Amino acid sequence: MGRLAPRALLLAAVLAALLAPAPARAARVIVALGDSLTAGLGVAADEAYPARLQARLGREGFDYRVVNAGVSGDTSAGGLRRLPWVLRAAPEVAIVALGANDGLRGQNPRATRENLERIVARLRRAGARVLLAGMHVPPNYGPEFARAFAAVYPAVARRASVALMPFLLEGVAADPRLNQADGIHPNAAGHQVIADRLWPHLHPLLRRAGAH
């Protein structure tokens, strides 16, 4: 989703965020790996849901740095290719929110599942606790494809025994008050809803400073 910004610039921004030195107090890292829905296409950087999560973590007393590793237009295959850079940040927690562009391009759900399984497996081998965020495709793609695509996420989560948020855009999709004019990308209010709905799934994966 999203092709308004040059891909090379977006990748450079993601890599800079990943490799930036962490503040002295916040050695723990949460990475949000995704596409334009995560990058925050069309909203300010501090309005995208990763930044909203960062603000809440601070309010709740959790010492984490949230890295926004969203790249507009990215697919599950692209996320898999970027994973070595993501792992350089040594994430303790990873939110995987990929696959929307796979679905919009009509990619075989089996390929999306295989990519997500590989991403999740590599993150877990690196010691990260994973939250997988599900995606849906619009109904005009047909009920059979829509069901097969939506089924990818619970299947990956079950196989890998990781946390699942069934649908990243729950409560946001198709609501004109929470989306930009394209009807696809959340506005600032929509990103706040995403962050609020992600929190109950993310919270169990967090640890207080000093906890092991």
Q: What DSSP string runs through the chain?
A: ---SS-HHHHHHHHHHHHHSPPPTT--EEEEEEESHHHHTTTS-GGGSHHHHHHHHHHHHT--EEEEEEE-TT--HHHHHHHHHHHHHT--SEEEEE--HHHHHTT--HHHHHHHHHHHHHHHHHTT-EEEEE-----GGG-HHHHHHHHHHHHHHHHHHT-EEES-TTTTTTT-GGGB-TTSSSB-HHHHHHHHHHHHHHHGGG---TT--
Residue 1: inside a domain, yes or no? no
- Structurally, the chain folds into a number of domains equal to 1
Residue 206: inside a domain, yes or no? no
State the distance between the two ends of the chain, measured CA to CA, in whole angstroms: 38
**What domain range is 137 assigned to?**
7-201
The pLDDT assigned to 125 comes to 98
Residue 73: inside a domain, yes or no? yes
Task: Please give the C-alpha separations between residue 68 and each of 110, 152, 160, 209, in angstroms, as whole numbers.
Answer: 27, 24, 23, 22
Q: Spot the catalytic one: 35, 74, 102, 185.
A: 185
Q: Spot the catalytic one: 35, 36, 74, 76.
A: 36
pLDDT in tens, the chain (212 residues): 654 444 544 454 555 455 444 444 446 999 999 999 999 999 999 999 999 999 999 999 999 999 999 999 999 999 999 999 999 999 999 999 999 999 999 999 999 999 999 999 999 999 999 999 999 999 999 999 999 999 999 999 999 999 999 999 999 999 999 999 999 999 999 999 999 999 999 999 999 766 55
Residue 210: inside a domain, yes or no? no
The pLDDT assigned to 64 comes to 97
Residue 207: inside a domain, yes or no? no
pTM: 0.88
Residue 19: inside a domain, yes or no? yes
The pLDDT assigned to 5 comes to 46
Residue 126: inside a domain, yes or no? yes
Structure-block tokens of residue 141? 């793609």
Query: Which CATH number fits the domain that encloses residue 139?
Result: 3.40.50.1110
Residue 208: inside a domain, yes or no? no
- Give the up-direction half-sphere exposure of residue 173: CA atoms within 13 A in the CB hemisphere: 12
> Does 182 qualify as catalytic in the annotation?
yes
